[in-house]
Amino acid sequence: MYFINVQTLELEEFFGETPQYAILLHTWESDEVKFKDFTTDLADARTKKEFRKI
């Protein structure tokens, strides 16, 4: 399972027991940050309009 570290804004992968986490809901817009954006080019992901939600 992957989580976004709210302090570093990096993805962290967890196996087995997962830490406590919160699920946030929102409506999808046209320029959302996708999992691929986080794993390939975080600098590019930060330029997307909807990165502010993260």
6-22 pLDDT, tens digit each: 888 888 898 988 888 87
44 burial level (CB within 10 Å; 0-12, 13-18, 19+)? exposed
28-41 pLDDT, tens digit each: 778 888 888 878 88
40-50 pLDDT, tens digit each: 888 888 888 88
Domain ranges of the chain: 2-53
Whether the full predicted model's pTM is greater than 0.75, yes or no, is no
Residue 24: what pLDDT? Answer: 76
pLDDT at 54 over 80: no
DSSP string, 1-54: -EEE-TTT--EEE--SSPPP---------TT---HHHHHH-HHHHTTSGGGGG-
Instruction: Report the chain's C-alpha Rg in angstroms.
Output: 12
pLDDT at 27 over 80: no
